[in-house]
Amino acid sequence: MADYLYGKGRESFLTGAVNWSSDNIRCNLVDAADYTPAQDTHDFLDDVAGGGIVATSSNFSGKTNALGVADADDVTLSAVTGDQCEYILIYKHTGTSGTSNLLAKIDSYTGLPVTPNGGNITIAWPSDPSKIFKL
């Protein structure tokens, strides 16, 4: 598969519904056996079956957006257990899955897929010019 921005996520950036710098942005580790991504029709976190979400981060820190390139500090998920994860989904956390905008699906990063073993999992965002993603 390929990394991509969700269509409705791109639209949310353009309409101002998502502000990378000030919104609560998080990621989930997701099991592909329980979630089939749909780039142009999935818009909110409630499109992801609850059983597919294996781990959830806290709000990203150190977020930057220079020249339309989204970046943040690396993320550590603590004591992760559950199914193998093939995807990282990035979303705007609102506290309600039906209003939490899906922004990006990532499946090509080093370390994916990952099989949780009860330990910490660190997601080290790439240092290349595209960082987490580029609009």
Distances (CA, A) of 86 to 6, 32, 48, 64, 126: 17, 6, 14, 26, 17
Give 92's strand partners: 25
What pLDDT does 15 receive? 96
End-to-end CA distance of the chain: 19
Average pLDDT over every residue of 29-53? 95
On the question of pLDDT at 1 being above 70, the answer is: no
Give 4's strand partners: 105
What is the pTM (predicted TM-score) of this model?
0.95
Query: Rounded to whole angstroms, how far apart are CA atoms 129 and 118?
Result: 33
Query: Rounded to whole angstroms, how far apart are CA atoms 83 and 63?
Result: 29
On the question of pLDDT at 41 being above 70, the answer is: yes
- pLDDT tens digit sequence for 52-90: 999 999 999 999 999 999 999 999 999 999 999 999 999
What pLDDT does 44 receive? 98
Average pLDDT over every residue of 79-104? 97
